[in-house]
């Protein structure tokens, strides 16, 4: 079999690396020290994303996106994932569920979102619901041909810069009717409860939203009534693949920083990389990265070849689980190699150490991924994970 990456894809990856190094990396310390970027800087960053062709890489060109394959998206997300502070999020990926909208929804929401004229945020998690979406309490009560949305949503990533939300709610409070709604943020009845602070600094915020009888027309249902869980699962798959690629990039950058430092740092009259303790840590980092890259690239390629939807869900969980935990181990070792310098916020490894911790939590915790994998094995045996087919 030929595992060679085509030259155009390698050129795309190199272009993404240049974008990360010349556009994103220079903003890292300002974001870290100030906790935010000025609006003018964010506007320039947004334009740079468009100018470099990294807006909506996950959507078709006919809708204003870049039309990249899953494998190509993985190559780009790997390089952008090397940036700290969640700066990779500046290159927006409108939710995949939007492509299932009506012609009017595609015109009014998807196309302008791809172009950067609008931005969405996905709202599913609540105080009492996250891993178990059936416990969602946000409801959309249907009366007189309209829906009235009430409830709270937590951890709405990029909700501060979004102008509309994709809200997962239960119609009439029925957990058998999970439904996605397109909710413009300027509608009456929507408020921000608070904007919590987290372990990492992130280029955008994660607000908590309150919805009080927000009136929505039937044209705001995305997909069909009761079809929200399947669309949310598709979003989870896409997000998990992106997280895996971001984690791969973060691990590579940490390893590169540590490897360079180990060659330059001299103690006891020789570079510290000559000490077996350091050499072995760098070797372990390299092997973990190699293994993660192999499985991430494989699954991305398989999806492009038309992998069965159920297998996509199964393997996306495995990829996200392994990549997020791999990144934690690699960045931890990199920090150890760097010693005290690795503990300074001016060092990208310190920032990555905090950044990547959430990757074992959001879009499905490591424990949820293991539960999904375990469930797949019960149904289908080990084949989905050990066979090459």
Rounded CA gap, 310 and 307, in Å?
A: 8
Rounded CA gap, 246 and 212, in Å?
A: 36
From 205, 302, 325, 363, the catalytic residue: 363
Closest-CA residue to 182 (of 219, 148, 230): 219
363 catalytic residue (yes or no): yes
Token pair listed for 313:
């869900």
Q: Which residues are known to be catalytic? A: 363
């Amino acid at each position: 079999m030929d595992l060679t990456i085509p030259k155009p894809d390698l050129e795309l990856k190199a272009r993404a690396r240049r974008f990360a190094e010349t556009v994103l990396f220079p903003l890292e310390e300002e974001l870290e020290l100030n906790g935010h970027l000025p609006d003018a800087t964010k506007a320039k960053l947004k334009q740079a994303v468009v100018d470099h062709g990294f807006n909506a890489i996950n959507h078709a060109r006919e809708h204003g996106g870049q039309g990249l394959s899953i494998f190509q998206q993985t190559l780009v997300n790997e390089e952008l994932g090397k940036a700290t502070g969640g700066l990779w999020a500046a290159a927006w990926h409108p939710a995949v569920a939007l492509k299932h909208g009506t012609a009017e929804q595609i015109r009014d929401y998807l196309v302008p979102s791809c172009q950067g004229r609008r931005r969405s945020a996905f709202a599913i998690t609540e105080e009492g619901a996250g891993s178990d979406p059936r416990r969602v309490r946000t409801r959309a009560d249907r009366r007189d041909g309209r829906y009235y949305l009430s409830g709270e949503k937590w951890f709405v990533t990029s909700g501060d810069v979004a102008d509309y939300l994709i809200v997962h709610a239960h119609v009439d409070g029925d957990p058998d009717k999970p439904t996605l709604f397109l909710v413009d943020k300027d509608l009456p009845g929507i408020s921000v409860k608070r904007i919590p602070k987290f372990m990492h600094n992130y280029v955008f915020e994660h607000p908590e939203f309150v919805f009080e009888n927000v009136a929505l027309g039937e044209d705001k249902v995305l997909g069909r009534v009761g079809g929200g869980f399947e669309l949310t699962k598709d979003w989870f798959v896409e997000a998990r693949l992106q997280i895996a690629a971001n984690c791969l990039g973060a691990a590579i950058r940490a390893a590169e920083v540590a490897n360079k430092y180990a060659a330059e740092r001299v103690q006891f009259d020789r570079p510290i990389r000559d000490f077996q303790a350091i050499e072995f840590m760098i070797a372990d980092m390299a092997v973990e990265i190699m293994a993660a890259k192999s499985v991430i690239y494989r699954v991305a390629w398989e999806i492009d070849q038309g992998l069965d939807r159920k297998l996509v869900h199964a393997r996306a969980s495995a990829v996200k689980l392994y990549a997020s935990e791999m990144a934690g181990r690699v960045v931890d070792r990199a920090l150890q190699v760097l010693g005290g310098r690795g503990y300074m916020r001016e060092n990208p490894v310190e920032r990555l150490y905090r950044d990547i911790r959430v990757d074992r939590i959001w879009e499905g915790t490591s424990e949820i991924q293991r539960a999904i994998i375990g469930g797949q094995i019960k149904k289908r045996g080990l084949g989905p994970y050990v066979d090459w087919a």
